[in-house]
Chains A and B, each alone.
Chain A
């Protein structure tokens, strides 16, 4: 509405549009399309084309080590995938990591955000310590924690020994290795959650808490009745980001265990990487990647649904 008015006004008053817009006699709709075109082109180039190419390659048998050209095999790669126990194991590992670390990071992040929101004399050390885990590159975090959990030279076993508990050979056992990886991921991602939740916390007016105090509500009651409900939008946003990226977990297990012992800590992203970069089996790797893409799209769709119904 406003834009139509301004067009009418511009005919009478000084023209505000760029000369080329007026010259081309563009309507608002055409102008919008034209301005969006570069971004859409970029998106198509970076996302749509590679994904389509990926789906296309997944129907071929293409292995760079065979020296043979690509051969159309239809759904054979997908059939191999269904029969591949490593595929199921890595997918399950990925789902398990998501199920453990997303709620885990949420709880820890919520706690951190609440603590960071307390009235400190100087805010910046708290904010900084929240920021550092998130700012650290994933592979650095993986390497650091691999050393922390080293059975001989690691800090974790050292602390355990000092407290009187026996040290654990973390990377000898699938369960302990998995636990170490989940702990690292929770450490890394809880700061991200905390930052988002902290932003949400700061929008809650203090007057609500003061009113609750007057009414005689305890701190716990205030938390559940005031804080949590008003934090819901931030929590949902944080969960969406975290879940989608959690399906793509690669860096931390790769740096910490390389998927070992055996394939017990390998994730789907690691299996895709192994098939494409190490084995150079591009056909099979593409099929795996298509499945991961489909999984991510499903999760995204579910979350979008959830947001839409809220509004």
Chain B
């Protein structure tokens, strides 16, 4: 009797264990930066789970700066770890990840529906290696109320900005009020800090994959930022300021002009902000006699080459990159859409009125150099910017340093 019961139990267990994989949900893990408002992405993912039975998506957050995430992903991907299925990648990384064989190609999506800059950034050697998550560019945030008070228009040149900032801070007599906040810490954003005035003078950093460095333009760029700190327009320890520091200080009402990405808008209008309703967003100023230039940002969704669920991951990426999700994130998280027509969409412009003008800015934004050795390029530029702003190197020395090191890297 006992033997029969044991045999029956064993048979049942075997049948169930064989059937279990077929019944179990596919678990996908998606890697998102803690800076990207993962709580809003969670809502989009909940909608996906409702639409797609049998798939569960968990979010793993990590790294609140681009290079911190890059280090983490480098470690995970070098180890061929299958724990992450979908990754969010900074726009500068698809080239490196594809070269290292860390992403699976995502074919079958017509990239021409996206903004051209992102179609380009995600295509490596003719293959689509990732799909756009959201677009981004750097903008000039300003205090509409303060500019109106002193009868000043949003500045079109950096010199105008300097004058406007000084007028306002002198008039307000508030020791905590900074004229301009930008990123001087040695983070990825500091590369953009260097490139904004450089590009504004009409210069490019690379041409056909080779270095085309303009020494004088570089000196002028570094000298411009240093002058803001020296003349008291930016704070003396600007070399300690990261992207989120700028956002927080602007949100607290301590900054007149700020250089920041699009994500700061949603939070500046949110309940924690001291400046809700007083914020304007405009194109970044240009150098004297130059063209307005801004840095292309934005993030992409990639499928890990080591994921155990390739098809499910690709479907998820296609969903997250769709117009519906792009619109949802634009309205709820002020993440710029990757589809041109969404910029004029009524619901989107209700949430962020300045998106209508933002399209032109994003379409003319310049990408940072596309190269598998981008990490080294970035390290060179951002540490030099940091050193110049800290007063350790002069703009001249900084420009020479960048030139010599980039020559070695981008042979």
Contacts and interface: CB of A to CB of B under 8 A. Distances in A.
A260 B96 CA distance: 25
A260 B71 contact: no
B288 interface: no
Contact of B375 (A172, A258, A279): A279
A277 B100 contact: no
A127 interface: no
Interface stretch (B12-20, B263-271, B384-392): B384-392
Interface of chain A: mostly helix, strand, loop or mixed: loop
A79 interface: no
A263 interface: yes
Contacts of B376: 279
Contacts of B375: 65, 278-280
Given A171-B240, A172-B237, A262 B99 contact: no
Contacts of B407: none
B390 A260 contact: yes
A264 interface: yes
A64 B100 contact: yes
Given A264-B392, A278-B74, A258 B237 contact: no
B9 to A, nearest CB: 38
Interface in A139-173: 150-152, 169, 171-173
- Measured as residues with beta carbon below 8 angstroms from the partner, the interface class of chain B is 20 to 34
A133 interface: no
Given A65-B372, A66-B372, A278-B375, A262 B237 contact: no
Contacts, number: 83
A264 B391 CA distance: 13
A260 B383 contact: yes
Contacts of A67: 99-101, 372
Given A65-B372, A67-B100, A274-B379, A152 B392 contact: no
B380 to A, nearest CB: 10
15 contacts: A65-B99, A65-B100, A66-B99, A67-B372, A151-B240, A171-B237, A171-B239, A172-B390, A260-B239, A260-B383, A261-B387, A274-B379, A278-B379, A279-B375, A280-B78
Interface of A: 64-67, 150-152, 169, 171-174, 258-264, 274, 277-280
9 closest A-B pairs (Cβ-Cβ)?
Answer: A262-B387, A261-B390, A172-B390, A65-B372, A67-B99, A151-B237, A261-B392, A261-B387, A169-B237
